[in-house]
Amino acid sequence: MNELFRDLAVAHVDGSMGRLLMKLSPVDALLLDDFAMAPLQDSERRDLLEICDDRYQRRSNERRNNADEQLRKRGNSGTSA
């Protein structure tokens, strides 16, 4: 995740955000491992939303972190009604 957010920050500075999004768009499945293990900054949240929005209904996105695994081991899906 750190590398992705670093690339996004650089893309904002040098104006290559469109190219970076185009680079990510053909990837069939975007796996975000160790997602949100540390709090995200506002800019990181916005960038991640933009990536997911760009891929919505066209490509797969999956986020994983150790907390998800711990919940599964305890038999808790982590969702609530």
Q: Determine which of 6-10, 38-42, 51-55, 60-64 has the lowest per-residue pLDDT on average.
A: 60-64
Residue 54 covered by a domain: yes
Q: Which two tokens stand for residue 75?
A: 């038999």
As for how many domains the chain has, the answer is 1
Tens of pLDDT, residue by residue over 47-62, are: 988 888 888 878 877 7
Residue 16's pLDDT is: 95
Whether residue 81 lies inside any domain: the answer is no
Residue 78 lies in a domain: no
In contact, 36 and 2? CB cutoff 8 Å:
no
The tokens for 38 are: 């540390």
User: Is residue 80 a part of any domain in this protein?
Assistant: no
Q: What's the domain range around 23?
A: 2-73
pTM, two decimals, is: 0.63
Question: At residue 12, does pLDDT exceed 50?
Answer: yes
